[in-house]
Structure 1
């Protein structure tokens, strides 16, 4: 289960909006917004890798594999 609050906190800390992150990931703003707000379990492995790289996330397990 994705910890959306921690992911959004990382976005804020790195000065990323949904639009800016989506653009750098190569997906639509709508797709990223839907993933964050309605179905975070549907992030693909490739999307997770892009987010981790773009936001320089060091605590991958805590954000993306939180049970």
Structure 2
């Protein structure tokens, strides 16, 4: 299962780089970033609804903690 997930991640990564480069010819950088974030969010929510189980308090706490850690590191 890990190999399949890695292949899908690589496919998504390559597709977004190609599509982002093509889109940057026609749209501003902020517009390009907005489309990428919205598209990624829609895809992530769809996958979570299809394959995910119920969100536990522990899972939400780890998600919030990882988001906070990333923000601290970048900020």
Looking at both structures, which has the greater relative contact order when contacts are Cα pairs under 8 Å and sequence separation is at least 6?
1
Q: Same fold (TM over 0.5)?
A: no
Higher helix share: 2
* TM-score normalized by the length of structure 2: 0.28
In the superposition, the TM-score normalised over structure 1's length comes to 0.30
